[in-house]
């Protein structure tokens, strides 16, 4: 790919931008750490999709309908 | 596993606490992004037109503050979606379609707009043309505000569910009109009120930080000029905010009368109701039904009726009218709504039983009730299903939110709003007289206005969200039916994890931000 190619120029734009960052580096480290905690720890271990244990929409619908009926006040 | 009622209430309480805490923390980061983006765009436009490097240096400083706030706040909203899926699964399923579309649009748009234009905004100085850079700054600001639109449309739908029908087969609501959802009066008012509140917040933050520079006798020209831009932007936004705030109250009067009555601590409805400017409420537990709710109350006569319905003599329903009913005013009692709600739930149970029996005539006849295209369906949806959520309540009192909290939060929001308007006017007046920054006490006041504007903004959400309790979806789904059957201990654990995570993020933000403010604007090499 020649150095004038648009994609190369876009790549260089981002690369140089990241290289010249000062406070930005700390911020990127923070963003990545935050995303790691959110997706690799919290989502996996603490926030499972509650209805994800059902195989399909029909089963999910049936479960929620049962719940909506069963919680009816006496 | 079946949870007992007490366990379920504990799940509801912890899940609510967790949601409130994450939403409040998330909202601490968002409004500054909404407003500061535009302030940067305005400053860069001045630079573009004047070519004066002073403005470039100034806008780069404020962009750095924008960048820090954006980086720390970004993705904190995703946690709310995790909570929907785990703690509020009935709710998530029930609303499915309505939420899916706006949130998907939000996700895609935010990703493309933010990843391209923000990059140009930060990396593109001296690399792309001045015009392209300016356009990127404006588009970053517009993109952030458009993201807010979709989230707020979803929130507005919960407060005023329109443009959908309930499908008992899937147990979900299905969108019938995207435009009705998007352009519902609640959505439009909420969007404009919320984004303009972000503009006011950003203006106050810029003025406060500039005041700090004036106190330190550093960067005084930058500080004064930034203050003027912020005060002009904030002043215009404040007028829009007043207008949309008034619009919100008018709509609440129609669609969430209990919220309005709580905002005003209006127990007994009346014609020609006055607006409480400031009042001290009696303790709920010490007050008997007949007692006046206030120790003292400064009231503008007829104002509440006029503001709510455009007629000083109009009847405004009070909490007791909404609980006990008021046939003269055509208000059903909550007991009656609960009865109708239970009938609607029974209709759903009939449909389920019919499905289980496999009897196709029974299935068809039970389904008819939910079909808005048939006469029977229309009547059932309007007379019974409309009150579906009331069927889960155990007492009419369940529909009364925390009145003192909402009453005071509303006054904090409006009172501080008036103070900020005055602040913007004073800044502009002093700037004209060339006396801006000469009074240290005033600089201190401006600096301390920063926490006040955050308090004001969070108070707005307290009014909106506590005011609609117990509903996750107005009249259709109370919290007790919306929550998942999860173990409350696990919700409690994640609550504390979030407290720790968010507090760390907030401390990081404050540390990085104050450090960068102390460094001040950079000179071009
Ligand atoms: C000065 C006059 C103001 C009036 C009359 C007013 C009125 C209202 C009303 C009635 C609501 C509830 C809306 C709902 O539940 O749907 C609300 C919400 C809110 N307000 Fe205000 N407000 C004012 C000023 C402010 C100020 C100065 C700020 C912040 C800087 C602010 C921020 C908010 C926020 C963030 C919400 C929640 C979003 C919403 O539901 O619209 N408000 N306001």
Within-domain flag for A47: yes
Secondary structure class of B198 (helix, strand, coil)? helix
**Alpha-carbon gap: A39 to the closest alpha carbon of chain B (Å):** 10
Report residue B1's pLDDT band, with 50, 70 and 90 as the boundaries.
very low
B52 conformational bin, left if phi > 0, alpha if psi -120 to 50, beta if neither = beta
Secondary structure class of B473 (helix, strand, coil)? strand
Report the first-to-last Cα separation within chain B, whole angstroms: 67
The whole domain housing A57 covers: 6-72
Determine, for residues A65 and B348 on separate chains, whether the beta-carbon distance falls below 8 Å. yes
Within-domain flag for A41: yes
Q: Kindly list the domain boundaries of chain B, sorted by start residue.
A: 5-257+404-515
Burial (CB count <10 Å: 0-12, 13-18, 19+), residue B287: middle
Asked if the model's pLDDT at residue B398 lies above 70, the reply is yes
Q: How many domains does the structure of chain A reveal?
A: 1
pTM over 0.90: yes
Within-domain flag for A21: yes
Report which of residues B440 and A49 the model is more confident about. Answer: B440
The pLDDT value given to residue B4: 57
Separation of alpha carbons B506 and B511, rounded Å: 8
Neighbours of A15 (CB within 10 A): 11
| Residue B67 · residue A24 · CB < 8 Å | yes
The pLDDT value given to residue B2: 43
The helix or strand, by DSSP H or E, that contains position B280, with its residue range, turns out to be strand B275-281
Asked if the model's pLDDT at residue B428 lies above 60, the reply is yes
The pLDDT value given to residue B236: 98
Mean of all residue pLDDT scores within chain B: 92
Residue range B247-291, pLDDT digits in tens: 999 999 999 999 999 999 999 999 999 999 999 998 877 666 667
Residues with CB under 6 A from ligand 1: B 159, 190, 193-194, 197, 200-201, 241-242, 245-246, 248-249, 252, 413-414, 417, 420, 453, 456-457, 460-461, 463-464, 467
Listed ranges A41-45, B18-22, B93-97, B333-337; the one with the highest mean pLDDT: B333-337
Report residue B6's pLDDT band, with 50, 70 and 90 as the boundaries.
low
Mean pLDDT of the region B80-101 = 85
Within-domain flag for A1: no
Ligand 1 atom showing the smallest separation from residue B204 Cα: 30
Nearest Cα residue to B99 out of B146, B144, B164, B195: B164
The helix or strand, by DSSP H or E, that contains position B295, with its residue range, turns out to be strand B294-300
| Residue B323 · residue B366 · CB < 8 Å | no
Ramachandran angles phi, psi of B170, nearest 5°: -100, -10
| Residue B269 · residue B329 · CB < 8 Å | yes
């Amino acid at each position: 790919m020649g150095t004038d190619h648009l994609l190369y120029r876009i790549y260089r734009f981002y690369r140089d931008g990241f290289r010249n960052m000062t406070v930005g580096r700390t911020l990127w480290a923070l963003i990545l750490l935050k995303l790691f905690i959110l997706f690799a720890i919290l989502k996996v271990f603490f926030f499972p999709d509650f209805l994800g244990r059902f195989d399909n929409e029909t089963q999910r619908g049936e479960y929620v309908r049962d719940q909506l009926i069963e919680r009816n006040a006496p | 596993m079946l949870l007992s009622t007490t366990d379920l209430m504990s799940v509801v309480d912890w899940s609510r606490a967790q949601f409130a805490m994450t939403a409040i923390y998330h909202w601490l980061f968002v409004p500054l992004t909404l407003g500061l983006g535009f302030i940067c765009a305005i400053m860069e436009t001045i630079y573009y037109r004047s070519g004066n490097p002073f403005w470039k240096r100034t806008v780069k400083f404020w962009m750095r503050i924008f960048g820090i706030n954006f980086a720390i706040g970004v993705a904190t909203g995703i946690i709310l979606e995790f909570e929907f899926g785990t703690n509020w699964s009935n709710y998530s399923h029930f609303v499915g379609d309505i939420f899916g579309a706006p949130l998907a649009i939000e996700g895609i748009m935010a990703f493309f707009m933010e990843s391209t234009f923000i990059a140009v905004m930060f990396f593109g100085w001296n690399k792309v043309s001045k015009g392209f850079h300016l356009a990127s700054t404006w588009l970053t600001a517009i993109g952030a505000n458009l993201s807010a639109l979709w989230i707020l449309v979803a929130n507005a739908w919960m407060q005023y569910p329109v443009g959908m029908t309930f499908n008992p087969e899937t147990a979900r609501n299905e969108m019938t009109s995207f435009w009705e959802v998007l352009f519902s009066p609640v959505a439009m008012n909420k969007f404009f009120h919320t984004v303009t509140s972000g503009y006011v917040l950003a203006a106050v933050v810029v003025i406060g930080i500039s005041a700090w520079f004036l106190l330190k006798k550093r960067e005084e020209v930058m500080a004064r000029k930034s203050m003027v831009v912020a005060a002009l932007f904030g002043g215009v936004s404040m007028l829009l905010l007043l207008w949309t705030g008034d619009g919100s109250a008018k709509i609440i009067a129609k669609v969430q009368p209990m919220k309005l009555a709580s905002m005003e601590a209006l127990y007994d409805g009346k014609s020609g109701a006055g607006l409480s400017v400031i009042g001290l409420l009696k303790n709920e537990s010490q007050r008997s039904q007949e007692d006046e709710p206030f120790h003292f109350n400064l009231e503008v006569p007829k104002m509440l009726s006029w503001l709510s319905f455009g007629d000083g003599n109009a009847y405004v329903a009070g909490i007791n009218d909404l609980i006990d009913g008021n046939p003269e005013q055509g208000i059903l009692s909550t007991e009656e709504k609960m009865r109708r709600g239970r009938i609607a739930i029974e209709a759903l149970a009939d449909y389920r039983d019919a499905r289980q029996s496999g009897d196709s005539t029974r299935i068809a006849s039970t389904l008819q009730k939910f079909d808005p295209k048939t006469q029977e369906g229309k009547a059932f949806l309007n007379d019974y299903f409309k009150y579906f959520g009331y069927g889960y309540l155990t007492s009419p009192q369940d529909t009364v939110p925390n009145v003192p909290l909402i009453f005071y939060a509303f006054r904090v929001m409006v009172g501080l709003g008036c103070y900020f308007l005055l602040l913007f006017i004073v800044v502009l007046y002093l700037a004209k007289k060339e006396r801006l920054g000469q009074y240290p006490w005033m600089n201190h006041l401006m600096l301390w206005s920063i926490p006040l504007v955050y308090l004001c903004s969070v108070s707005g959400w307290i009014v909106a969200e506590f005011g609609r309790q117990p509903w996750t979806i107005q009249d259709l789904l109370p919290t007790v039916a919306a929550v998942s059957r999860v173990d409350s201990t696990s919700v409690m654990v994640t609550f504390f994890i979030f407290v720790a995570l968010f507090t760390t993020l907030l401390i990081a933000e404050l540390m990085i931000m104050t450090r960068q403010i102390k460094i001040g604007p950079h000179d071009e090499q």
